Amino acid sequence: MKRNLAGASLAVVMLVCFAGFPAAGVAHEDKSLCNVILDGDGEPVRESDDDEIAHSNTTDCPDDDADKAAVENVAAPEPTPEPAEEPVAVVEPLIVYFDVNEKTLDAGAQAEVDAYVTSLMATSPVAVNVVGFADTSGSADLNKKLSEARANSVAAALIDAGVPAGIITRGASGEDELAVTTPDGTREASNRRVSVTPGY
């Protein structure tokens, strides 16, 4: 009888001792913990007055599985594309032609300059380069002066039409830089000209 009681007592003690330990070989499912207090080893603990336990809280969890799925599947907002810059409006250079030995604009050339300035000023140029040219008929010195006088005539017409004088530069190439290559002493209408080139 005593032996039976002793055996039963031993069995109870062993049962109590091993009840607090997980069975060997049992795999624990690794789940993320939410809204719990963890100790220094990362194990969940209940409320404790022990100041030596390092407590930390995990982040809040979704209220339910549906909320969790919604949180995980929320796509990052698309970046707002920057508006494309508008291309700067420009106008092409203007070429004004002159008669033989002529340095002033005729009525047709004057009308052409006036119309050009209307388009030009709508593009807000910061510079306008005016260069005069001559053909090879006549001496090189005469053609240099003639090309300069032509550039001055066109510059004056530009200013009268509304181009600020301060943005105009002038040049004279004489019979250099021919639009059409010719022998010396040749009259060529394409070479008697003034170019107007805007800068932006």
User: Token pair of 151, please?
Assistant: 């550039």
pLDDT at 189: 97
CB hemisphere CA count around 70 (13 angstroms):
7
Assess contact for 59 and 65: CB atoms under 8 A.
Answer: no
Per-residue model confidence as pLDDT tens for the chain (200 residues): 544 444 545 554 454 444 544 444 444 444 454 555 666 776 766 554 555 544 444 445 555 555 555 555 556 677 777 776 666 678 999 999 999 999 999 999 999 999 999 999 999 999 999 999 999 999 999 999 999 999 999 999 999 999 999 999 999 999 999 999 999 999 999 999 999 999 99
Rounded-to-integer distance, Cα 1 and Cα 36, Å: 50
pLDDT at 78: 77
DSSP 60-90: PPPSSHHHHHHHHTPPPPPPPPPPPPPPPP-
The residue extents of the domains of the chain are 33-59, 94-199
CATH superfamily of 94-199: OmpA-like domain (3.30.1330.60)
**Angle formed at CA 19 by CA 16 and CA 23, multiple of 5 degrees:** 145
User: Token pair of 160, please?
Assistant: 């009268």
Tell me the residue ranges of DSSP E strands in 75-183: 94-97, 127-132, 168-172
